[in-house]
Structure 1
Amino acid sequence: MTRTPTILATSGGFSYDARGVLRPAGLAKLALRLTGADRPKLCFVPTASGDSVSYVQLIYAAFAGWSVDVSHLSLFPMPNVDDLRKHVLAQDVLWVGGGSVAGLLAMWRLHGLDDVMREAWDAGVVLAGVSAGSICWHTGGPTDSFGPELRAISNGLGLLPYGNGVHYDSEDQRRPLLHRMVADGTLPASYATDDGAGLLYRGAEPPTVHAERDGAQGYLVEAAGGEAKETVLDAEPAP
């Protein structure tokens, strides 16, 4: 049975335990639960980090002992699988890591992975991720892809007809730039997340907000008379 197209766009998903080991947190657990599979197949996509080997290793280690079949999809210096489409469509969850959303979009388009991601979404593969792995599914948002002064990016995949802001409560430039982008029409109405919060989209309908950290919230930013209007969206606890 085909699942509803599902995206979980987050500013979280993993945290470090008392020994400094990366572990799946509530939002990553939610992504797995959304599949309905007893032993989900999860593919980590580290394009935004330049396919950092250490990032890949951390994700494999994070799921050690879990009932999850983990793989990864790298594009540098060449794809690590023979058939990108076949590998992606065989997954239950695609978790896209953080880094440069501009670099991610360029590499995905170069390899035709943008079209594959849309096909996977239509097929019911859960598309999820953090930071760049959140913005990419939307029309765009504030990004540090070009340097420490954040800039606007508006050429996201557009699976979702909204803009997106991440790390809303922890990086000072994020909120004012998102407000300006929405107010001047660079972005449509946009949803944003504090660290530890995620946006769960079913199809392209407005999302519900889920949080793995107490106090983390979501936000809706809309244009109103040439300015931006922000509405706080309370979050449900992530598992």
Structure 2
Amino acid sequence: MPASEPTIVATSGGHRVGGRTRVTFDALVHHAVDLSGVHGRRPRLMYVGTAIGDAEHFTARMGEAARVAGFDFTPLQLFPMPNVADIEGTVLEQDVVWVMGGSVANLLAVWRVHGLDGVFRRAWRAGVVLSGVSAGSLCWFEGGTTDSYGPELRPVTDALGILPYGNGVHYDGDPGRRPLAHRLVADGTLPETHCTDDGVGLVYRGTRLVEAVTEVPGKGAYIVRRSGPGGTAEEERIEPRRLPALG
């Protein structure tokens, strides 16, 4: 059963160290699965690790996290070649796509080579929940702030554009992200930009932001808009709803 509307969960979280595993899925991943509407069977989750070069050790850790969570796990790997013959068909079989962080610039380039920009847009329309962390959040927007090009933060402006906004991830975790987001919105490089502290996610139905949620108390979400003829930026804080804590 697909989600009732096209749905994206864009986050700066979703993972933590497990009790018996190196990685466990936190509340944001479980919330993405809940939004898919699946019931009566194990949820199908696709993990996409393009942004970290399909690192095998992390794919294995995510697979173990999925086993503990009770999810059927399908990794989509593009290095050195796609690991499935029918990429689009495999994506459309999923309930949730979870995209790992890393280099959003490299992710976008590789996805376009393999036609995944179009595949993911069609999957979104079909009700597969698109979600992810960091680069796996930025990719769904017009662009945002990234360290893909080196330690100095720079803008990326050629993301998939499924959501017609900018995106700011790790808003409280990297002191350079907030001022750069404000500057890019003020000068028109980025449109209205939606930002998340670490542990926070944004839920979109269609292209409409419907809710901010968090797995960490005290964190926030933010909307940065251009204001005034001189081109300044104004920030509005959104208080996220706390998701149920997981054991």
Whether the TM-score (by the shorter chain) exceeds 0.5 is: yes
Choose from 102, 108, 111 the match for 1:108.
Answer: 111
Q: Does 1:88 pair with 2:96?
A: no
Per-residue deviation, residues 5-57 of structure 1 (Å, max 9, x unmatched)? 00000000011135563111110110111112132100000001111111101
Name whichever of 173-182 and 63-72 sits farther off: 63-72
Q: Does 1:33 pair with 2:38?
A: no
- 2:141·2:167 contact (CA, 8 Å) conserved in 1? yes
| Partner of residue 232, structure 1 | 237
Superposition TM-score, scaled by structure 2 size: 0.94
Per-residue deviation, residues 86-115 of structure 1 (Å, max 9, x unmatched)? 111110000000000000100111100000
- 2:21·2:64 contact (CA, 8 Å) conserved in 1? no
| Partner of residue 53, structure 2 | 50
Alignment of 1:163-202 (within 5 A): 163-202=166-205
Choose from 153, 156, 161 the match for 1:153.
Answer: 156
| Partner of residue 127, structure 2 | 124
Residue identity in the other structure for 1:53: E
Paired residues in the alignment total 239
Give me the whole-angstrom Cα distance separating, in 2, the residues matched to 1:127 and 1:63: 17
Structure 2: runs of 5+ lacking an equivalent: none
Give me the whole-angstrom Cα distance separating, in 2, the residues matched to 1:139 and 1:188: 8
Residue identity in the other structure for 1:70: F
Per-residue deviation, 1:80: 0.4
Structure 1: runs of 5+ lacking an equivalent: none
Per-residue deviation, residues 170-189 of structure 1 (Å, max 9, x unmatched)? 10111111111100101110
Per-residue deviation, 1:208: 1.1
3-state SS of paired residue (1:178): helix
Q: Does 1:133 pair with 2:136?
A: yes
Runs of 4+ in 1 over 4 A off after TM superposition: none
Superposition TM-score, scaled by structure 1 size: 0.97
- 2:21·2:65 contact (CA, 8 Å) conserved in 1? no
3-state SS of paired residue (1:180): helix
- TM-align CA RMSD: 1.2
